[in-house]
Structure 1
Amino acid sequence: MDQDDELFLQEMQGVERIQIREKVTLRKTPLVGDAEARRQAALDETHALKRDPNHLSTTDVVRIGPHDVVGFKRPGIQDGVFRKLRLGKYDIEARLDLHRRTIEQARQEVFRFVRDCLAADIRSVLILPGKGDRSIGDPAVLKSYLAHWLEDLDDVQGYHTAQPHHGGSGAFYVLLRKSDRKKQLAREQFSKGRI
């Protein structure tokens, strides 16, 4: 044995071999009985919360400035669709003016407005919270809450600060999800165009 081997053996004294455990085969088994019922109940409760305007938070909202330009898009929304929204290229099918509303009034109105627009197959809307730049002590309160609420609503696909001619930093373009009926119409138009 040479000197390197002896040094190696000295350093390795007291080291034990790692015990290798037998492998376990995992099988996916469907949830049965009580566990499945609990899972479904939790899912139903989550969906019920999303249908209630009270799930929209009125605390711990990230504040934005009166003149800040903000935007948001859900994963899966194409860049071209968001660009068109940002530039105000979609027809505005409905408007909601939130000027002079309390936070609670605005929360109820935003929730109801989005729900009503979806029921009417309206997809592109304008919501005007105002800039809030005249509120000396606490500027842009409603604007900050609106941005937070829009991200909380699953039916909102994206939003962006409006162009100056539509209200600028005191207004948001909002893109709502397509209804199942509009999705089917789009599929039919697309398939007709390919024939």
Structure 2
Amino acid sequence: MNQFENDDIDSFFAEMQDVKPIASGDKALLHDPEKALAEKQKRAALQNKTREKLTNPLSLEGVKPVPPSDFICFQQPGIQDGVFKKLRMGKYPLEYTLSLKALNIEQSRDALYQSIISSHEKGVRALLIQHGTGENSKPFPALKKSYVNHWLRELEEVIAFHTAQPMHGGFGATYVLLKKHPQQKLINREKNRKR
């Protein structure tokens, strides 16, 4: 070690001679893991709730009343008539049923949107929505049925829908056919390739 390095070390220790280490009891704990986790979960729940409200595209305006005993139906362009007929006749296996009977319009809107999105992501193709006929509903008869008719047309996942057969609820229920999820298309392609 040369003279310059020795001088540097000596000057360092001279500067540091009045510095004292922090005693272990002097530490301030600013982080409470349990409290931090609870706060994080609370923020995530609030964010999800806000995101759901923001991303639900179903409108509450411009709904045309549908008489309680009318058929409601829709078929996207390009959907084969045979596919639509099978849906209309109730021949698709119903993989999910959503009942809107005890819900108000706002709750029905959220339940329908969440059910369609989650069903599509799970690969569900056909489902049944029970909305009731609403013959005595206010401000006009068949209120929920009219909203369901309006909302289903707004969702790109829905390729067709039709009033259900009597065995599944008749005028008080609707069959819904969803697009194949891209993952399901890939699975089907692989199955067909193996044949």
| Fold shared per TM-score above 0.5 | yes
The structure with the largest alpha-carbon Rg is: 2
User: Shift in Å at residue 143 of structure 1?
Assistant: 0.3
Counterpart in the other structure of 1:124: 126
User: Shift in Å at residue 106 of structure 1?
Assistant: 0.4
User: Shift in Å at residue 102 of structure 1?
Assistant: 1.0
User: Shift in Å at residue 120 of structure 1?
Assistant: 1.3
Aligned amino acid, residue 190 of structure 1: N
User: Shift in Å at residue 94 of structure 1?
Assistant: 0.4
- Unmatched runs of 5 consecutive residues or more in structure 2: 1-50
User: How many residues align structurally?
Assistant: 144
More helix by share: 2
- Unmatched runs of 5 consecutive residues or more in structure 1: 1-47
User: Shift in Å at residue 108 of structure 1?
Assistant: 0.5
Cα distance in 1, alignment partners of residues 116 and 138 from structure 2:
30
Listed one character per residue, the Cα deviations across residues 35-68 of structure 1 (whole Å, up to 9, x for unaligned) are: xxxxxxxxxxxxx99x811x21111111101110
Change (3 A) 1:159 1:134: same
User: Shift in Å at residue 136 of structure 1?
Assistant: 6.8
Aligned amino acid, residue 174 of structure 1: V
Listed one character per residue, the Cα deviations across residues 133-163 of structure 1 (whole Å, up to 9, x for unaligned) are: 1337621011000011000000101100000
Counterpart in the other structure of 2:185: 183
Change (3 A) 1:184 1:63: same
Change (3 A) 1:104 1:136: closer
User: Shift in Å at residue 89 of structure 1?
Assistant: 0.3
| Alignment match of 1:96 (pick from 98, 112, 117) | 98
CA RMSD of aligned residues (A): 1.9
2:160·2:178 contact (CA, 8 Å) conserved in 1? yes
Q: What fraction of aligned residue pairs are identical, expressed as a percent?
A: 43
User: Shift in Å at residue 188 of structure 1?
Assistant: 2.9
Q: For 1:55-94, what aligned pairs fall within 5 Å after superposition?
A: 55-94=57-96
Aligned amino acid, residue 105 of structure 1: Q
SS in structure 1 of the partner of residue 133 of structure 2: coil
2:158·2:179 contact (CA, 8 Å) conserved in 1? yes
Which 4+ runs in 1 deviate beyond 4 A? none
Counterpart in the other structure of 2:165: 163
Cα distance in 2, alignment partners of residues 172 and 77 from structure 1:
18
| TM-score, length of structure 1 as denominator length | 0.69
